[in-house]
Structure 1
Amino acid sequence: MVGRPRTIDREAVLDAAQAVAARDGAAYLTLEAVATEAGISKASVLYDYKNKQALMKAVIERRIAAEDARIQDIRKCLGEKPNAAILARLIAESRELSDDDRAVALSLCASVAGDAELREPVRAMMAQRVASVRDTSEDESGAMLAFLAIEGLKALEWLSLYEWPPAERSKLISEIRWLIDQKPEEIPCEEISEDS
């Protein structure tokens, strides 16, 4: 017996899930809400995503894959340039966030924080990015400081904790770029605790 051909597009389901998350928040990202948004039955959503957690994980993985692809395209343009990974991250962060990007990130954040399985794709992405910065950097110290700075800037923006005016944000990106070439002086822990 041959099954019925698949007519539901997985990307359309994930688009609907992202729309629900952006509009209503992750707490309201239910299989029913996604089905309604996509104009399909709940059974169609269940076919690919057995539960809310599986659906959320798929949304997270798709967003990570899209961002990674964008960064890889930038790296290809840079060629074999030293510090390619961190330079690509800086160029990628030069774009302004859309309200949709911010809304989805903010709504998924609480779910990711409270669920180790949902955190895993994010942890894997960060481990890969750290390794990439280390592998392509002429001096790991400055590059890692730049990486931490750009991730901090991004976190503040994605979580809607602070939004820099565009000119100030551009200046910050340039200053973070400056960090890449710095060679920080190592301060012994004893000196840090004595001055505290």
Structure 2
Amino acid sequence: MPRPRKHDQNAILDAVERVVARDGIVTLDAVAREAGVSKATVIYDHSNKRELIAALVARTMKADNDFNEAAQAEFSGKPNAALRGRIEAARRSPPVEGGNAAVLSLVVGLLQDAALRAGFRDNQRAIGQTILAGAGHPRAARLAWLALEGLKYQQHLEFQHWSAEEREEILCDIELLACTATLTEGGSNA
């Protein structure tokens, strides 16, 4: 019979986020200190650093998917619901100034680990399929989704900073593309 858990996995994963943001790297010892638990407690469910990062990536993807699905609910039954929901979610989640070190470290982790990258890729593929399945104009929706993801990555990785007004203007342009543009087979706007 497995032992009952006496620790909160979310608290440990929160500690992983703080350690990554502060130090740029993860060690089991640093996570244990940050969480206020023993190293044995940390490795009870995650025997190594890779498993800790994998658990954090999985939690982050689930939280992001849940957040986007909640925003999508208000567009239920309307064209482009999945994409419009993601655009609305981006509106509700403005970038955090100076708080993206953990995101950058997770991206580095994804680049270094094929299994983590595969899980993230599968998640993105499923999102893309959902967006295209509900699109009135799939090519325009695909471009709008790519623009939205580009906006988010530029911000999360702190490559670009837009004012709140500029960001809203960009989101409106992306929404316009998603909802009204029709692309012809020749590649020009119809």
Fold similarity call, TM over 0.5: yes
1:154-173 paired onto structure 2 within 5 Å: 154-173=152-171
Aligned to 1:103: 101
Equivalent in the alignment of 1:124 = 122
Name 1:6's counterpart in structure 2.
5
Aligned equivalents of 1:161 and 1:177: distance in 2?
A: 22
Q: Which consecutive segments of 4 or more residues in structure 1 shift more than 4 A?
A: none
Residue 185 of structure 1, CA deviation: 3.2
Q: Secondary structure at the match of 2:169?
A: helix
> Once the two structures are superposed, what CA deviation does each residue of 1:93-138 show, in whole Å capped at 9, x if it has no partner?
1131224752211121112112111212211110111001111111
Shift of 1:4: 4.9
Q: Output the CA distance in 2 between the equivalents of 1:85 and 1:113.
A: 27
Is 1:62 matched with 2:86?
A: no
Q: CA deviation at 1:169?
A: 0.7
Q: What residue in structure 1 maps to residue 68 of structure 2?
A: 71
- Given that residues 149 and 176 in structure 1 are in contact (C-alpha distance below 8 angstroms), is that contact kept between their aligned partners in structure 2? yes
Matches within 5 A, 1:33-44: 33-44=30-41
* Shift in alpha-carbon separation, 1:100–1:37, aligned structure 2, 3 A: farther
TM-score, normalised by the number of residues in structure 1: 0.89
Measure the CA separation in 1 of the matches of 2:2 and 2:124. 40
Aligned counterparts of 1:101 and 1:179: Cα–Cα separation in 2:
30
> In the aligned structure 2, how far is the partner of 1:137 from the partner of 1:5?
47
Partners of 2:77 and 2:124 in 1: CA distance: 22
Which blocks of at least 5 consecutive residues in structure 1 are unaligned?
189-196
Task: Give the aligned partner of residue 193 of structure 1.
Answer: none
**In structure 1, the residue corresponding to 2:181 is in which secondary structure?**
coil
- Between the aligned partners of 2:145 and 2:130, the Cα distance in structure 1 is 11
Match of 1:134 in 2: 132
The 5 A counterparts of 1:169-184 are 169-180=167-178, 181-184=180-183
Residues 26-79 of structure 1, C-alpha deviation per residue, up to 9 Å, x if partnerless?
xx2111110000011111111100110110011011011011001111122222
| Unmatched runs of 5 consecutive residues or more in structure 2 | none
Give the Å deviation of 1:3.
6.0
Worse-superposed segment, 72-81 or 95-104: 95-104
TM-score, L = length of structure 2: 0.92
Q: Percent identity?
A: 35
- Asked if 2 retains the 8 angstrom alpha-carbon contact of 1:150 and 1:176, the reply is yes
Q: 1:5 Cα shift?
A: 3.3
1:24 aligns with 2:23: yes
Partner of 1:52: 49
What is the letter of the counterpart of residue 178 of structure 1? L
How many residue pairs are counted as aligned between the two chains? 185
In the aligned structure 2, how far is the partner of 1:85 from the partner of 1:4? 41
Residue aligning to 1:191: none
Q: Is the 8 A contact 1:22 1:100 kept in 2?
A: no
Deviates more, 1:54-63 or 1:107-116: 107-116
Distance 1:41 1:17 in 2: 14
Report if the CA contact (8 A) 1:156-1:162 is conserved.
Answer: yes
